[in-house]
Structure 1
Amino acid sequence: MIPKLRAWKKYDSPEMFKDIAFIDFNKKLLGVNYKVSKLTTRLDIETLDKFILMQSTGLKDKNGIEIYEGDVVKDNLSEKYIVKYNRGFCAYFIYSFDNQEEFMAIYPNIILEVIGNIYENPELLEDTKND
């Protein structure tokens, strides 16, 4: 299986890239395809340190949207969670906003909906702090 990644450009003009052309970890370079128009893209090569890489969990939400680490999801009870990779279990988990210690593994039968991500939608994190 080839890992599927997206990249958040954290400097200059912040932007999410889902069309990654290549990653060279030795030279610390990332090639991303910028959408110039509806039919054309432009390959730009930038240093890897300008980006945060997020891997797909391999699962999709109830609407068929791919779930990546860093996504904010909600369950059928409208509880919000953040998708994170847990190195201890070598698996993706969803962490509750109320208690960062509370988490559960993501299984295909859990009904989740992606409502944003922590980079493009930081207001989702603020909303839960005020609840």
Structure 2
Amino acid sequence: MQSFKVRVFDRYINKFIEHGQKDKTIKKCFNFMSRKEMELLQDQFLFVPYTGVNDKNGNEIYDGDVVWDGKNKYIVRRYLSGYILDKTKKVAYQPNNTIWLSDYYYCVEVIESSYTNPELLEV
């Protein structure tokens, strides 16, 4: 079975869960007692996947991160089978404002996650 990396964002406290606590949270989410309890956990926790690449400083880039290339800020978004760098705050794909992360990751640095600091997306 292939493993994958995630960060766990707690919507109730508006921050990412620390590494030690993350393991307990993931086990709790996957060992639910009932459908209702699972739905409550999904309301509270957001699992944010790792894109598989690091920025120019070696930091891992996750879905929803805000990255900077020295001129522009972009949000990392999942699109089809990969990730894009989107200059807009809109969820819809816009070809004129988008760059594939796989072609550009070595030129950007992660500023912060859009989940913890949405005002970073302000132009």
Aligned-residue CA RMSD in angstroms? 2.7
Counterparts of residues 96-107 of structure 1 (less than 5 Å): 96-97=87-88, 101=94, 102-107=97-102
Tell me which of 60, 81, 93 is aligned to 1:90. 81
**TM-score, normalised to structure 2's length?**
0.73
**Residue 49 (structure 1) shift:** 2.3
Q: Which has the higher helix share?
A: 2
Q: Which has the higher strand share?
A: 1
Report Cα offsets for 1:41-79 as digits up to 9, x if no partner: xxxxx823201211000111111110000100011x421
User: Which structure has the higher relative contact order (CA within 8 Å, separation 6+)?
Assistant: 2
Aligned twin of 2:14: 14
Moved beyond 6 Å, runs of 4+: none
Q: Does 1:116 align with 2:109?
A: no
- How many residue pairs get aligned? The number is 108
**TM-score, normalised to structure 1's length?**
0.69
- Listed as ranges, the gaps of 5+ residues in structure 1 are 31-45
Q: Tell me, in whole angstroms, the C-alpha distance in 2 between the residues paired with 1:124 and 1:3.
A: 27
**Residue 97 (structure 1) shift:** 2.7
